[in-house]
Amino acid sequence: MEALQTFTSVTFTRTKGRLQADGGSPRHDARIVEAIARAHFWQGLLDEGMFASISDLARAEGLQPTTVARLLRLTRLAPDVIESVMVGEQPRRLSLYWLQRHDIPMAWGQQQAVLNALN
């Protein structure tokens, strides 16, 4: 099987050495924005049946299945959480590393409570 490359339609710029999404405010975390976009793209591939499993998708992307599974959890984020990340208003201590290492509650209200604790 040929290697799959994932592309997202997010523009990144570099300002004063920092990578920013969509040329927005310096609070944008481009890594989180890109990871959310990638997770939704991958979920679409799985939903459409292009890959039978996370393992198959990971193999095509050249990643470990655990990495893909951790990123796919970002598809569970509440719309208001995603919006806050997109406009650069996410909690100060929220990072992609944090999102990958902590369980994200399914209930959107609980998500907001957990993320508010990161301010």
If one counts the domains in the chain, the total is: 1
Q: Residue 22: which domain range?
A: 12-116
**Chain centre distance of CA 116:** 18
Identify the CA nearest to 14 among candidates 2, 6, 22, 4: 22
Is 6 a member of any domain?
Answer: no
Is 7 a member of any domain?
Answer: no
Is 96 a member of any domain?
Answer: yes
Q: How many C-beta neighbours within 10 Å does residue 71 have?
A: 23
pTM: 0.76
Is 1 a member of any domain?
Answer: no
- What CA dihedral angle connects 47, 33, 99 and 7, to 10 degrees? 40
Is 3 a member of any domain?
Answer: no
What pLDDT is recorded for position 45?
Answer: 97
User: pLDDT by residue for the chain (119 residues), tens digit each?
Assistant: 566 666 656 666 776 666 666 544 446 789 999 999 999 999 999 999 999 999 999 999 999 999 999 999 999 999 999 999 998 888 888 999 999 999 889 999 999 899 888 87
How far apart CA 26 and CA 87 sit, in angstroms, is: 10
Is 4 a member of any domain?
Answer: no
Is 5 a member of any domain?
Answer: no
DSSP letter at 2?
P
What pLDDT is recorded for position 116?
Answer: 86
